[in-house]
Amino acid sequence: MKIGIISDIHANLHALESIAKDMDSEGIEEVWCLGDTINYGAFPNECCQWVTENVSNYILGNHELMLLGLASVENRYVNECLEWTKIVIKEKYIEYFASKSVINSLADITLVHDNPLSPGSMKYILTREDAEKVLLKSRAHICFFGHTHIPIGYRLSTIGAEVIKTPTYTIDSRKHLVNPGSVGQPRNGLPLASYIIFEGNTLILKRIEYNVKEAAKAIIEANLPTIMAARLLKGI
């Protein structure tokens, strides 16, 4: 089965539509989402609608937890976006999120938004040292995670957590930790949406162009913090 793995849409409909179009062209049969569909962007309801209609396995992100009153952060811009989202989002999508979990295991695969050792904690996996701790303690053969908005893969080796450096990779018997990056707010310096194709023992990272200027314009027109528009344009 050809699976599309996405994360961190962040209400960016322009990016999501480009990803969805590419997944259609790739013949994706199932979509898994690692959370954070809402906040930052101007289209939470439209993105939530797509998710509820197309995603077969959804994991709660920290922004959904904040929407549900189960988490909080001390960040002015995040909270301004959250208050706006609370006003505009439809109740049925709040109910959808309330029915989901912060982690899910499928045979030897784990899906989580932030960190499988403490799901829902908002703890980042940003370094090889962070990844090594997870790989040593995790029971899963493959763990897919989001939260950092940076596409990257690690595998457990004799040197600890080894970074996977190729966009196409064949999974072997070692433990793996893989992040598809962000659909709607990339933070690796490239204003491109990203996702992963997972088929059999093969992973393919794809980066997709979208209309970044229109997505940024929509944020400003919605009177959301302008910093969110600026971040999109720079991919940070």
The residues spanned by each domain of the chain are 2-234
Which residues lie across from 155 on neighbouring strands? 162, 176
Q: Over the stretch 17-73, which tens digit does the pLDDT of each residue have?
A: 999 999 999 999 999 999 999 999 999 999 999 999 999 999 999 999 999 999 999
For residue 159, the model assigns a pLDDT of 87
**C-alpha of 180 from chain center:** 7
For residue 164, the model assigns a pLDDT of 94
Paired sense of beta strands 152-157 and 142-144, if any? unpaired
Q: Which residues of the chain have pLDDT under 50?
A: none
For residue 35, the model assigns a pLDDT of 99
For residue 9, the model assigns a pLDDT of 99
What is the distance between the alpha carbons of residues 159 and 162, in angstroms, rounded to a whole number?
A: 7
CATH class of 2-234: alpha beta
- Maximum Cα–Cα distance for the chain, whole Å? 51
Give residues with Cβ within 8 angstroms of 220, minimum separation 6.
Answer: 226, 229
Task: Check residue 156 and report its DSSP letter.
Answer: E
